[in-house]
Amino acid sequence: MDALIVNTYPVTARDYTSAGHASADIKRRLKQLGVGGDVLRRVAVASYEVELNLVIHSDGGRLELQVFPDRVQLTSSDVGPGIPDLALAMREGWSTANDEARSLGFGAGMGLPNMKRNADDFDIQSEVGKGTTITMGFRLQ
């Protein structure tokens, strides 16, 4: 099935000022399409978490929004550094965020578990030295 909307947002590493722009636009677009309530909130939270993860942890990447008649798909892909231990990264409270991120109130180790909790489908693939890809699906019915 072809996507109704496909949009890609480049996300710059360590740019805390622009962090949230992509997720705000995603929320706005979905709202225009008539998506609301619980699904909109879950997509908004998950997209912000994944965008922030790109800013805090990655060497740069992009976030892609795809809207199908029955679902929304968010795909985050970055160019590194990759996650050595995925099981540990998925654990609540575990974080490798630096002091700058922590001083802004990030780095509670809630990002990945929170994405998984909010998405209907969650998949993460990572290779050290290559990068990380996260795919999240949200059912619209």
* Residue choice 6, 8, 10, 24 for contact with other proteins (CB under 8 A): 24
The answer to whether residue 113 forms part of the interface with other proteins (CB under 8 A) is yes
In the complex with other proteins, the residue whose CB is nearer, 91 or 130, is: 91
Cα gap 127→131, rounded to integer Å: 6
Six-digit token string for 50 = 């994944």
The answer to whether residue 52 forms part of the interface with other proteins (CB under 8 A) is yes
CA 56 from centroid of its chain's CA atoms: 12
The answer to whether residue 104 forms part of the interface with other proteins (CB under 8 A) is yes
In the complex with other proteins, the residue whose CB is nearer, 113 or 137, is: 113
The answer to whether residue 108 forms part of the interface with other proteins (CB under 8 A) is yes
**CA 77 to each of CA 10, 40, 92, 137: distance values in angstroms, whole numbers, following the listed order:** 10, 22, 22, 15
**Ordered DSSP codes for 103-114:** HTT--SS-HHHH
Binding site for other proteins (CB under 8 A): 16-17, 19-20, 23-24, 27, 41, 44-45, 48-49, 52, 104-111, 113-114, 117
